[in-house]
Amino acid sequence: MSSGSCYCGQAKVFFESQPMRQGLCHCGECKKYTGSAYSVNVIVSEKGWKTEGALKTISKTARSGNTISTIICPECGTSMYREGATFPGQKALQAGILDDMDLLNNLKMEVELFAPQRVSWVPKLAGTEDKHGMN
């Protein structure tokens, strides 16, 4: 079972599935909730998923009209994962929370979502497909 944890160590996630997809997102919302120029997302199945410790959910309606929820540690504020109707039965983990460096090092980014919103000083990642939106 793989795991992820927050900065203070209070919140943890555990998952059995191998990553299904992984990629970057350059949309404005991802920039805001990560506090960075883009988010690095690892999609895993909800099957075999569990959490430990307190978590806080912040929900927002996206431009698509779908609700997207960002789950954070209420103690240190680490963005742990996202969930929503756009990816049912799955969780979008923030890659930086992964505890297993081998898993993190072996991820192969496949896609860059909202590529036209990539900031000018971030180069395109080799081997990824650029998408104009989520699809």
pLDDT tens per residue across span 3-20: 999 999 999 999 998 999
**Residue 88 belongs to a domain:** yes
Domain, as residue range, for 15: 2-130
Mean pLDDT calculated for residue range 90-108: 95
* Domains contained in the chain, number: 1
What is the structure's pLDDT at 124? Answer: 96
Tens digit of each residue's pLDDT (9 = 90 or more) over 42-59: 999 999 999 999 999 999
Are the C-beta atoms of 111 and 118 separated by less than 8 Å? no
Residue 95 predicted with pLDDT over 90: yes
- 36 phi and psi angles, rounded to 5 deg: -135, 180
What is the structure's pLDDT at 66? Answer: 83
**Residue 43 belongs to a domain:** yes
What is the structure's pLDDT at 135? Answer: 73
β-strands 21-25, 39-45: how paired?
Answer: antiparallel
Check the CA dihedral 62-87-47-15 and report its sign.
negative
Burial (CB count <10 Å: 0-12, 13-18, 19+), residue 117 = middle
What CATH number should be reported for the domain holding residue 41?
2.170.150.70
Q: What is the pTM of this model?
A: 0.88
**Residue 135 belongs to a domain:** no
| Amino acid at residue number 62 | A
What residues form DSSP beta bridges with 52? 12
| Amino acid at residue number 59 | S
Tens digit of each residue's pLDDT (9 = 90 or more) over 56-92: 999 998 777 888 999 999 999 999 999 998 889 999 9
Q: Token pair for residue 26?
A: 């350059």
